[in-house]
Amino acid sequence: MLADPDARLVTAPVEGGGEATALVSGDDVLVSAEGMPAPGEGHDWQLWIVADDTPVSAGLMPAASGGVSRALVQGGAGHVVAVTLEPAGGSAQPTTDPVLAIES
């Protein structure tokens, strides 16, 4: 992705502190969020691609490693990529407000 001459970086704050950076290349978005708290027992962070105000699940955000959570969101370019706190395993639709929303 870094070798793509059209790749670009976008940043956004993480609710409650921290910052997220998205590397956008082609149709894909690599989200790297620093300072995201652990989701807590019985919960997961879930990724969403939001196009035309309609959220579509992009899977779960992996647990932080070294204080940073990273996830590749395929097909997220040109849309908002958001992260919400959901019950373990994720939800069909967001049940909480996003802690992170980044326009890619």
What was the pLDDT predicted at 65?
77
Q: Which of 87, 86, 85 is nearest to 99 (CA)?
A: 85
Instruction: Specify the CATH class of 8-103 in words.
Output: mainly beta
Position 21: which residue type? T
pTM: 0.91
> Could you tell me the residue ranges of all domains in the chain?
8-103
**What is the spatial distance between Cα 12 and Cα 57, in angstroms, rounded to a whole number?**
20
Residue pLDDT, tens place only, 75-88? 999 999 999 999 99
Rounded CA-CA distance 55/49 in Å is 6
